[in-house]
Structure 1
């Protein structure tokens, strides 16, 4: 399987960001290669993948990691199937779907606006590093993908002191998606700048560090809230879709546009995009609803980690 994995990495590398590529390689080396890397791809079974790879990760309490490894295995084995290395229809990774997952998993639609506000309040009141709390609030008010939040750099932001504040989110295929920022998002960035040291990253793991926060750090932080966080790093994107679709059932296309649907269609939104102002108004309405009455982020992080002065 080692040879298949190497060809799969080479095939996918062009469409991955350097950060995502390194994450995939780390998962392969940590969770997959030691267990089944030496096994010929035709000899791999669903039971082997489950018993040796997925089950141990789940039993360690790392359900999100297990899901990501499951997805990587499916992509890798499908690639092998397309190459004719395993018979069509006999992809063992497909048999992993649904295995070991909880039957009574919370519904995404169950996290309404009031529940989302309660979750965010409880997380911000709990122990946690200041940078992680800022990243979580930024993810909440922007409804951006966690990977984009964690790896964001100061060079990607423009006009933060004006009503035209925007985030130039890089696309894997090149170009940028122009994501308009609300007043609350800009306020989080101001707080991040105050504690971020001299790093190019907005949310580094530590002051003056060049290593970005991990998505799992945001999941762990969300899990400290009084409401059990959904087992997904995309929780705030689901909240945005649920809240704004409910308030504006006739504007579903705009909801999707705010979440970056243009990226999937190969369209890059620029400053001249006629829908930019409309999306900006939508994002501001959502941020006002979500954090209305919340203390500013600088107040939330003023104490840092309880009993610790670390960032």
Structure 2
């Protein structure tokens, strides 16, 4: 069959029938419609390779998926690429590789990969992170990492913020930042776009945990704890919390390997602030705490000082101690486990008259000196040892 010398028309393309042999219908500029014996029609273009000048062929796609007008547009793109001194085959392969990379590099996929690798986190934190990721995925899930802009993350967070969940929105932004930093470290993104969102979300009102700070009422609570008739391990945890006033998670995750009962010390790195301060927190143990821990050591069950009731490979759950307080008639609107920190901060300052910087350091907070530099957590250890023993003695006085 003779080749068509004039540019093709849609009718010619549409009515082209298969023949005994494959044939071409030329449109010009090296492009033609290739008709197979089976009747398949595909657009192709021949051109000289930029370096070798050898004639090569690229298939643009099949008709009717690729129309005549679309094929001519693709031909124009190839002509432009050649004019720029580039090989269209290489450009096409690069585009296909980029599309494949982006299809396997969505926010949802990278977030799942990141969360799955955080094996050191508690099950509760894992559960929360997956919940935050679910909310983020509603907007970002199918988007390639390198196409996500700050406004996209902000839209995902504000969808939750607008419903009044201010803290959840902030947690979502924080998780998105972690995912982006992981993507940067694994060469799947160029930067953390959440850095442009500082101050963009509303801050939730400061949450104050209910805490008893009246000495008489505090003494009554301590006597109630002494009368607790539940689990021995839970009772020991309840007795240590007001004495050592660490965070509840730090008490629950306490490991025997971090304690030296001969030197009366407990040394660990607070998970909440380790990125900001880096150094470990030293908790001087008053003699009362050593006595409790020594008795508890006789019933040791695994690496955790306070393991879960039904397993030794997980620590006590986060609700166990608060539930124990409720059993004693101490409700959440009166006092919480976290409230022991506020009680100690207030009463050590007001009743024992200790310098606030000693108390704040013992709480694991960042305390700047007169030059704005943070004190090391190991500083003022002698003063803090004295303070912790005097505080434990004071608690005994309140009970009596």
Match of 1:132 in 2: 234
Uncovered stretches (5+) of structure 1, i.e. residues with no partner:
55-65, 296-311
Show CA shifts across 1:70-99 (max 9, x none).
Answer: 65235346778x94469757845x26x249
Change (3 A) 1:238 1:4: farther
Instruction: Trace 1:1-311 onto structure 2 (pairs within 5 A).
Output: 3=107, 18-19=120-121, 23-29=124-130, 31-40=131-140, 41-44=153-156, 46=158, 48=160, 69=168, 72-73=171-172, 75-76=174-175, 83-84=192-193, 88=197, 91-92=200-201, 94=202, 97-98=204-205, 108=211, 111-126=213-228, 128-158=230-260, 160-161=261-262, 164-171=263-270, 172=274, 175-197=279-301, 199-206=302-309, 209-229=312-332, 233-249=337-353, 251-261=355-365, 265=374, 267-269=376-378, 275-292=380-397
Higher relative contact order (CA 8 A, sep 6+): 1
CA distance in 1, matches of 2:119, 2:241: 19
- Contact kept in structure 2, 1:131 and 1:205, CA below 8 Å: no
Q: TM-score, normalised by structure 1?
A: 0.66
5+ residue gaps in structure 2?
A: 1-105, 141-152, 181-190, 369-373
Residues in 2 aligned to 1:280 and 1:222: alpha-carbon distance in whole angstroms: 28
Partners of 1:86 and 1:43 in 2: how far apart? 15
Structure 1 or 2, whichever has the larger Rg, is 2
Give the aligned partner of residue 63 of structure 1: none
Q: Which has the higher strand share?
A: 2
Q: Following TM superposition, by how much is the alpha carbon of 1:263 offset from its aligned partner in structure 2, in angstroms?
A: 8.1
Does the residue aligned with 1:286 lie in a helix, a strand or coil? Answer: helix
CA pair 125-293 structure 1, distance change in 2 beyond 3 A: same
Per the alignment, in what secondary structure is the counterpart of residue 282 of structure 2?
strand
CA RMSD of aligned residues (A): 4.1
In 2 relative to 1, CA 189–3 (structure 1 residues): closer, same or farther, beyond 3 Å? Answer: same
Say whether the 8 Å CA contact 1:204–1:212 is kept in structure 2: yes
Rounded Cα–Cα distance in structure 2 between residues aligned with 1:284 and 1:234: 21
Distance 2:107 2:215 in 1: 48
Cα distance per residue 1:147-171 (max 9 Å; x no partner) = 221111111111x24xx41111235
- CA shift at 1:249, angstroms? 4.2
